[in-house]
Amino acid sequence: MRLHQVNWITHNGPVPDDLEIDHIDGNKSNWALSNLRTITHKANIHAAIDRLGDWFPRVTKLAPHQVDLVLAIAANLPKGQGPLQALADRWGVSKFYLGNLRAQAKKKDDPRYLAGL
């Protein structure tokens, strides 16, 4: 359980099944009770989009050769470094999306990822 959940439950009791806890200011490390509220999942997504604006990750399916390239590059780079942002911009996806490709490949022992290690 995360600190914001512990704080909410301690002061307000359990979160109803159809609601989740939202950080009003968007700062996940600010778990002060005055910064927490319960809202629906849909409202939480909309609040995040409003706070993040254009940064919110765009979802685009990449062609297999593009995934191969991302994994080949990512396999040889420390996490969070390298030209992934340039690839993200070129292909119209977010760096977050490409990072997730890398993480999933590593988790699944994908040979395309492991080949570069």
Q: What is the 3-state secondary structure (H, E, C) of the chain?
A: CCHHHHHHHHHHCCCCCCCEEEECCCCCCCCCHHHEEEECHHHHHHHHHHHHHHHCCCCCCCCHHHHHHHHHHHHCCCCCCCCHHHHHHHHCCCHHHHHHHHHHHHHCCCHHHHCCC
Residue 39 bridge partners (DSSP): 20
Q: Is the pLDDT of residue 9 over 60?
A: yes
Model confidence pLDDT, tens digit, residues 73-108: 666 666 555 567 777 777 777 777 777 777 777 777
pLDDT value at residue 33: 93
Task: Identify which of 41-45, 56-60, 95-99, 113-117 has the greatest average pLDDT.
Answer: 41-45
pLDDT-derived band at 61, boundaries 50, 70, 90: low
